[in-house]
């Protein structure tokens, strides 16, 4: 079974039918078929939610949340271990704090990070990345 971590970029690409959304859809379908295991940090889920809320209001944010919840995605809480890994990424790379949680979760789960956010290019030697 392949393991993937989705960041907010990947979720928004799928929800908004943007570039890369088809590749994310394939990964999500694979999860429904039992071929893929998908994770997202609660921090990145919150990032997707606030962007939808800010850009489209409560109805859009709820629609995005409901869309994500249709799939077998494991939302991972930010416990102490994950937070320390994320803090190390944030301290050593020029990435946002939320992106540090996506990278940390990919490391922790030994999963491939799914993103189109070029900020992660500097981490290609640290974690596996599936560019969408």
pLDDT in tens, the chain (132 residues): 999 999 999 999 999 999 999 999 999 999 999 999 999 999 999 999 999 999 999 999 999 999 889 999 999 999 999 999 999 999 999 999 999 999 999 999 999 999 999 999 999 999 999 999
Range 2-131 classified under CATH 3.50.50.60: no
Please give the pLDDT value at position 94. Answer: 96
Please give the pLDDT value at position 51. Answer: 95
Please give the pLDDT value at position 18. Answer: 93
Please give the pLDDT value at position 118. Answer: 96
Please give the pLDDT value at position 121. Answer: 97
pTM across the whole model: 0.94
DSSP letter assigned to residue 6: E
Please give the pLDDT value at position 34. Answer: 96
Please give the pLDDT value at position 86. Answer: 98
Q: Residue 43 in contact with residue 98, Cβ under 8 Å?
A: yes
Return phi, psi of residue 13, to 5°: -60, -40
Cβ burial of 84 (10 Å; 0-12, 13-18, 19+) is exposed
């Amino acid at each position: 079974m392949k393991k993937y971590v989705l960041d907010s970029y990947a979720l928004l690409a799928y929800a908004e039918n943007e570039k890369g959304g088809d590749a994310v859809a394939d990964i999500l379908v694979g999860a429904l078929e039992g071929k893929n295991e998908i994770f997202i940090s609660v921090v990145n889920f919150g990032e997707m939610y606030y962007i939808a809320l800010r850009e489209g209001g409560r109805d859009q944010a709820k629609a995005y949340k409901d869309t994500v919840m249709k799939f077998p995605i494991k939302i991972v809480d930010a416990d102490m271990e994950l937070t320390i890994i994320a803090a190390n990424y944030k301290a050593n790379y020029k990435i946002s704090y939320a992106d540090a949680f996506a990278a940390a979760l990919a490391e922790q789960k030994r999963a491939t990070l799914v993103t189109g956010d070029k900020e992660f290019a500097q981490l290609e030697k640290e974690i596996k990345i599936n560019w969408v």
